[in-house]
Structure 1
Amino acid sequence: MFLQERMRGLEQAPLVYNAHLSAAEEMGRSMSARIAIIGTGAVGGYAGAHMARAGEDVTFVDFWPENVQAIRNKGLRISHLRDVPEFSVPVRVLHLTEMQGLSKEAPIDIAFICVKSYDTAWATMMVKQYLAPSGYVVSLQNCMNEETIAGIVGWGRTLGAIASSITVDLCEPGHVRRAAGKSGAAHTVFRVGEVHGRITDRAREVGRLVALADSTQVTANLWGERWSKLVTNAMGNGVSACTGLISRDILLDDTLRAFTARLGSEAIRIGQALGYQLEEIHHLAPETIARAGEGDAAARRVYDERRLDEATKGGGAHRPSMGQDMVKGRRTEIGFLNGFIVGRGQELGLAAPANAALTSIVKRVENGELQADARHILDLRLN
């Protein structure tokens, strides 16, 4: 990417927060920044609820009427599989059609875009008119949407935030459920960064805000972090969507697990060719996954051991976001995940046949041409 050259030489030691429920007291409060969460789904609802609970000035916007009404009636409810008490927090929530009322209020300082990737452009355009002159937009989404956002508000008003292995689900209107406890020091959930790679005061402020929900790192390597998360999603989301399986069942099947390594390998090689400095993926070195997917026996043993350990010790007992979308009959982000990887590879002359095959299968299941079934992957014949 053209910003890669500007990033080199600007790296600094990352700023790390280990957030707990008392993070507001530990880190101090923002100076009355007005915050908008555009898309009160799983990630936006989860992160935003913790901000609101800590006393931040947050306005939620959503376009699902039942979700808006449930939040108005009972507050935004957050629950965890273990260790963390459930809570509900009263919040201000607007339906999309009510957003015009923001024109009569103080402008928005920080807008978090938390919609699906295919809705990024219109959501950014919608909130742009209500931003303060110094206001900025944060992509808190899957995929790589910063360029789309920057095309609307400018690169100087664009930041990125990654939610890594957060396992949240909008399980019913007004209720976000996390299929785990808090990660804390065991795993850094949120990675926040500027597109140019410098660690700025506003990146620190975004880091402080999302750290109210869980552990956070402000990074000088946004693009490497973003591509690494793209690889993570590409390895599991589409496979769940087209097979109907949860992550654990995918990992316990030898053929499906090998296919996830193949998907990751192709994506890693393309990311490396693009010049990204990749971070750990599934707590493995990217090169290990790449070699495992390419057939290296030693790397494959390491990969299998790590992923099987993850599955047998309670990890993966959830449905990835694209699998959730398929079950709910929603449009998937396959074109912005595996399809995006295929497209970037084509620009470089690098083939990604596994990602291309998966993209095609998921689209056919999504369109009703096929029913979700593991055989779609088990019967593939790839050279």
Structure 2
Amino acid sequence: MRPRIAIVGAGAVGGYLGGHLARLGHDVTLIDAWPAHVEAIRSQGLRLTGLEDSQNVTVPVPALHLSDVQSLSKQSPVDIAFVSVKSYDTVWATHLIAPHLAPGGFVASLQNCINEPAIASVVGWGRTVGVIAGTYSGELHAPGEIRRTVPLGGTQRVVYAVGEPHGRITARVERIRAMIAEIDSVQATTNLWGERWSKLCVNVMRNGVSAASGLSGNDCDRDDRIRRFSIRLGAEAVRIGQALGYALEPIQKIAPEGLARAGAGDAAALEQADGVLLATLAAGQRSALQRPSMGQDMLKGRQTEIDQINGYVVAEGAKAGLAAPANAALTAVVKRVERGEIPARPENIAGINA
């Protein structure tokens, strides 16, 4: 019998995965805070598009607004709840779905940042799993429409990773892995925390600079000053992650130690890291429409996750006795843009990276 699945947060990440699981016949209910999005899914289905026409599909799937979640009490309990809201909404979102979990049900964080501790504070560590969308990128383009902006992983790269906080490969990890494998490339990992911090390093390099500059992901990489600054950001995050004891994975195809040296001014390492980022740009592996999630939030006038990404690196660095001046400076700039004190523009990054 297939598990009953709830997706709390049916945006670019949760909605994409939930929609495709529903397409494959899984018992999925989407839950979201945006009334227009919920109504569009109810009336027209969820439209999922990719970089190729063969990836475009409209899926009928049940959708609930937050105010309707209590109706789940009249249905079968939820076996797997994927929480895919913004990091600052994690605790209340977990509280929202927790009463509807089956006795053996659990919650999986399908989010940026490191939110397993927040989920565990509500349901306990024994009911907490991590799912990392490592190389996925997409956007909630319009109500009821989610657009993927990077290719499928295939045999070229692993897009998703699933792991337990304690590092063992369990039956439930394998169950989620098998479900996602029908959609995209995925692996079960014994290194959830190292994978999480490595993805955090990617977000540190890409999200805040897009939000502060107003540029797309590709345009950030085309700008020499922004690209070099992103390397500094990633280098600080790597050194802090190493100090905290995480076993880091390659970050945007760059070895962690090489990235750290590049950000510290090692000329050879910087040339290599720069070359990797430029090669990815030249290969056209991201759509011209791709914009990191924080950049999307800024355009939509929404609260960003700057405190949970670059600001989190600064805070964790302080615990380890390491400063992260580039991340601290970017955090301050993004907050100024967020408050409307300054516009998003490339000069914001140039001013930091002088």
TM-score tier after normalising by the smaller chain length: over 0.9
Specify the alignment match of 2:326 in structure 1.
Answer: 354
**1:255-293 Cα shifts (integer Å, max 9, x gaps):** 111100100000000000000000011011111111100
2:28 equivalent among 38, 58, 62: 58
Secondary structure at the counterpart of residue 197 of structure 2? helix
**Mapped partners of 2:218, 2:153: distance in 1:** 19
**Mapped partners of 1:324, 1:211: distance in 2:** 28
**1:4-53 Cα shifts (integer Å, max 9, x gaps):** xxxxxxxxxxxxxxxxxxxxxxxxxxx22111000110011110111101
Secondary structure at the counterpart of residue 35 of structure 1? strand
1:319 equivalent among 268, 291, 305: 291
Q: How does 1:21-170 map to 2 (within 5 A)?
A: 31-82=1-52, 84-170=54-140
Contact map agreement 2:48 2:58 (CA 8 A) in 1:
yes
Q: How does 1:203-352 map to 2 (within 5 A)?
A: 203-316=173-286, 317=288, 318-352=290-324
**Mapped partners of 1:211, 1:136: distance in 2:** 20
**1:171-201 Cα shifts (integer Å, max 9, x gaps):** 0000110113312111110000000000000
**1:71-107 Cα shifts (integer Å, max 9, x gaps):** 0111011101226331111001111111101112211
Specify the alignment match of 1:379 in structure 2.
Answer: 351
Specify the alignment match of 1:370 in structure 2.
Answer: 342
Q: What letter matches 2:156 in structure 1?
A: A
| Deviation of the 1:310 alpha carbon | 1.1
**Mapped partners of 1:243, 1:330: distance in 2:** 16
Contact map agreement 2:133 2:161 (CA 8 A) in 1:
yes
**Mapped partners of 1:185, 1:322: distance in 2:** 29
Contact map agreement 1:47 1:212 (CA 8 A) in 2:
no
**1:156-183 Cα shifts (integer Å, max 9, x gaps):** 0000000012111100000110113312
**Mapped partners of 2:55, 2:243: distance in 1:** 45
**Mapped partners of 2:150, 2:59: distance in 1:** 20
1:199 equivalent among 142, 158, 169: 169
Judged with a 3 Å threshold, the aligned counterparts in structure 2 of structure 1 residues 279 and 83 are, in CA distance, closer, same or farther, namely farther
Contact map agreement 1:150 1:157 (CA 8 A) in 2:
yes
| Deviation of the 1:254 alpha carbon | 1.6
Q: What letter matches 1:265 in structure 2?
A: A
Is 2:145 the counterpart of 1:175? yes
**Mapped partners of 2:349, 2:172: distance in 1:** 44
Secondary structure at the counterpart of residue 37 of structure 1? strand
Secondary structure at the counterpart of residue 351 of structure 1? coil
Question: Which stretches in structure 1 are left out of the alignment for 5+ residues?
Answer: 1-30
Contact map agreement 1:83 1:181 (CA 8 A) in 2:
no
TM-score (norm 2): 0.98
Specify the alignment match of 1:11 in structure 2.
Answer: none
Deviates more, 1:217-226 or 1:301-310: 301-310
| Deviation of the 1:207 alpha carbon | 1.1
TM-score (norm 1): 0.90
| Deviation of the 1:323 alpha carbon | 0.4
Q: What letter matches 1:111 in structure 2?
A: A
Question: Which stretches in structure 2 are left out of the alignment for 5+ residues?
Answer: none
**Mapped partners of 2:267, 2:127: distance in 1:** 46
**1:319-360 Cα shifts (integer Å, max 9, x gaps):** 111101101111100000000000000111100000000000
| Deviation of the 1:249 alpha carbon | 1.4
Q: What letter matches 1:246 in structure 2?
A: S
**Mapped partners of 1:315, 1:377: distance in 2:** 24
**Mapped partners of 1:122, 1:360: distance in 2:** 26
**Mapped partners of 2:63, 2:36: distance in 1:** 12
Contact map agreement 2:5 2:80 (CA 8 A) in 1:
yes
| Deviation of the 1:58 alpha carbon | 0.6
**Mapped partners of 1:135, 1:48: distance in 2:** 17
| Deviation of the 1:381 alpha carbon | 5.5
| Deviation of the 1:206 alpha carbon | 1.2
Contact map agreement 1:231 1:264 (CA 8 A) in 2:
yes
**1:95-140 Cα shifts (integer Å, max 9, x gaps):** 1111101112211110000100010000000100111111000000
Q: What letter matches 1:313 in structure 2?
A: A
Secondary structure at the counterpart of residue 155 of structure 2? helix
Contact map agreement 1:82 1:180 (CA 8 A) in 2:
no
Q: What letter matches 1:374 in structure 2?
A: P
Q: What letter matches 1:312 in structure 2?
A: A
Contact map agreement 2:135 2:160 (CA 8 A) in 1:
no
Counting matched residue pairs gives 352
Secondary structure at the counterpart of residue 54 of structure 2? coil
Q: What letter matches 2:337 in structure 1?
A: V
Specify the alignment match of 1:3 in structure 2.
Answer: none
